[in-house]
Structure 1
């Protein structure tokens, strides 16, 4: 813990050497970016609400397929008249967040960019593309394999019971799995920010890779729809690959590495 705090203090001191803004200017800039992010979020919500029925059909497809496969009625149920409306609002809000995410991420980049070296600011588009791609990749992984496989396993396991699935509970489960995996796939981006400010280093990540492997397999054991080890390994491999990718990202953006690159560029110049 002390080692991590020392790295954070070192990163702050290194950032202080860069041309930047005062505390008041930082707070004003943060307020401006937050206002823009909220505006994008509101616009995203209304755009998503215009397609709320199509979004729901897309969301309902896994449960419908699983129910029909097990010869069960495919309709979901509601317990009061407002459940359906609330569900449409919820999925519109979440879809709106996804639609607005690239614009919100751009605001986040604009906020942190004054603390970066000039040659690093060109990475805004790769950063945004990587963030969106990783999230959509995780969400698709969950939608295509994790969630349908889990439903199939659970219905097969509960064949002695007649399911009565409430639409709001199903929506919460769907969003938890899909958004959870989408966020989990953002690990390299999370490590990028931690490494950017010197909180973690490639050496630290590599040294603790055995603990990362343990955590990944625990997560895979939880989300794997079937109990066999082969399937669990299939689910764990993408997360392990992302962790290894995160080590490479940390090496590229860590202050020590960047400082060496800057010194090399100055010596050549």
Structure 2
């Protein structure tokens, strides 16, 4: 394909992706109240546990509407993600060997599973535990929690963990194009540990080291998994297999 053909293909994939995002948004907006109830559940539980009022507040009449739009857009992105990932795969697949193209379904399943695992890990354990710690630490104050601020905190933690769990997929692409190698990843593991803890410190809503370690532990495991992924798909190994065949 020429450069213009590549650009035309990229434009087509981007248009399809935007359409999927718009459809996903309207589907999610149809369930915006149920989505909000699901999002509010962790803080409602934490507030009840500490005998505090559970209703969140708004400072402006449009705050509630803006919050519904925000969460509908984010959930719409998640709903549309499989189709968008398929468009990404269609764009890069011409540069792969024929036997590698059969990995499209494992790629999509792994990407979605990793993201949902990270989001569920944050929603089920990390976020509720962080809220419990924060309310216990500031028990002498009366909380007045604004709905948009809570939404931003919720999305930061949940989406941050979901995206962080995509590390093996990122390494997969970098290794496919020979940008990184398993040797490079293993040699620089000490820097990876430092970066993982920096990321954990950024997305951790509480300042205690224990919560930071809870964030960092699965990320370190995923980094080790990424080394194995890089070994499997690196061009040097693919070249050896092709020569052997």
Which TM-score tier does this pair reach, normalised by the shorter chain? over 0.9
> In the alignment, which residue of structure 1 is the partner of 2:37?
57
> In the alignment, which residue of structure 2 is the partner of 1:10?
none
SS in 2 for 1:204: helix
2:96 pairs with 1:116: yes
| Cα distance, 1:146 vs structure 2 | 1.1
Preserved CA contact (<8 Å) 1:76 1:164: yes
Q: Distance in 2 between matches of 1:206 and 1:149?
A: 33
| Cα distance, 1:214 vs structure 2 | 2.6
Q: Distance in 1 between matches of 2:177 and 2:64?
A: 45
- CA RMSD for the aligned pairs? 1.4
Q: Distance in 1 between matches of 2:58 and 2:163?
A: 29
> In the alignment, which residue of structure 1 is the partner of 2:161?
181
Q: Distance in 2 between matches of 1:113 and 1:94?
A: 27
Q: Distance in 2 between matches of 1:224 and 1:122?
A: 41
2:244 pairs with 1:258: no
Q: Distance in 2 between matches of 1:113 and 1:245?
A: 23
- After superposition, give the CA deviation of every residue in 1:234-255 in whole Å (9 maximum; x if it has no partner): 4332111100110011111111
Preserved CA contact (<8 Å) 2:119 2:162: yes
Q: Structure 2: which 5+ residue stretches go unaligned?
A: none
Give TM-score scaled by structure 2 length.
Answer: 0.95
Preserved CA contact (<8 Å) 1:220 1:236: yes
> In the alignment, which residue of structure 1 is the partner of 2:77?
97
Instruction: For 1:135-150, list aligned pairs within 5 A.
Output: 135-150=115-130
Aligned to 2:208, which of 227, 230, 236?
227
Preserved CA contact (<8 Å) 1:224 1:232: no
SS in 1 for 2:163: helix
Preserved CA contact (<8 Å) 1:187 1:243: yes
- After superposition, give the CA deviation of every residue in 1:193-237 in whole Å (9 maximum; x if it has no partner): 1111111100000001122123323444552747355x5544332
Preserved CA contact (<8 Å) 1:149 1:225: no
> In the alignment, which residue of structure 2 is the partner of 1:30?
10
Q: Distance in 1 between matches of 2:145 and 2:96?
A: 50
Q: Distance in 1 between matches of 2:182 and 2:102?
A: 23
Give TM-score scaled by structure 1 length.
Answer: 0.87
2:174 pairs with 1:190: no
Q: Is the radius of gyration larger for structure 1 or structure 2?
A: 1
> For the structure 1 residues 263 and 248, does the alpha-carbon distance in structure 2 shift closer, same or farther, using more than 3 Å as the test?
same
Q: Distance in 2 between matches of 1:218 and 1:83?
A: 32
Q: Structure 1: which 5+ residue stretches go unaligned?
A: 1-20
2:122 pairs with 1:163: no
> For the structure 1 residues 224 and 81, does the alpha-carbon distance in structure 2 shift closer, same or farther, using more than 3 Å as the test?
closer
> In the alignment, which residue of structure 2 is the partner of 1:3?
none
Q: Distance in 2 between matches of 1:141 and 1:218?
A: 19
| Cα distance, 1:153 vs structure 2 | 0.7
Aligned to 1:212, which of 167, 192, 214?
192
